[in-house]
Amino acid sequence: MTIPMLCGCAALDAVKAEDTEQLLAAAGFKMNLAETPEKMAHARELTQFRLVPHEKEKAIVYVYADAENCRCVYTGDEAAYQRYQLLAVQKGLTEDQRSAAEVNDNTAVDWGMWGGGSGTGMMWGTGW
């Protein structure tokens, strides 16, 4: 009986991730596929299923990694984050589900690996 419950939890987590990712895309976050082994390894090192603010070139970039389901990393600027917050409130997500993590762990993001574009418009460069 324990195994089906674990499978059910994993399925529920995947649905939550998909809901969040749909909101991120609608808010203007860019979906960056981890299509190489190096990018996948790096995506797995990032905080999973949480929006985490990171500083890049004196701007804040919000990063959401999902190495399990979409095998991707979403990135967005402050405007995209604010749109996401508004959409999440409209959809009724809890504060915990929609909040960015209070951590700013710049050591986790290897900006150069992803093409390292400048500014927030091309946060991950053309490498994605």
pLDDT of residue 15: 65
Nearest one of 60, 104, 76 to 20, comparing CA atoms: 76
What is the 8-class DSSP label of residue 51?
B
> Looking at per-residue confidence, does 11 or 75 come out higher?
75
Task: With 0.85 as the threshold, say if the pTM is over it.
Answer: no
Q: Give the relative orientation of helices 2-27 and 78-91 as an angle to the nearest 10 degrees.
A: 130
Q: What is the residue extent of each domain of the chain?
A: 2-112
Cα 75 from Cα 24, distance rounded (Å): 9
% of the chain residues with pLDDT over 70: 60
- For the chain, how big is the Rg over CA atoms in Å? 15
Cα 19 from Cα 60, distance rounded (Å): 24
Yes or no: say if 66 and 46 are a contact pair by the CB < 8 Å rule: no
pLDDT of residue 21: 93
Is pLDDT of 9 > 60?
no
The pLDDT tens digits of the residues spanning 17-69 come to 788 999 999 999 999 999 999 999 999 999 999 999 999 989 999 999 999 99
The pLDDT tens digits of the residues spanning 85-100 come to 999 888 876 555 555 5
Is pLDDT of 122 > 70?
no
Kindly state the tokens that stand for 114: 């992803």
Cα 26 from Cα 71, distance rounded (Å): 18
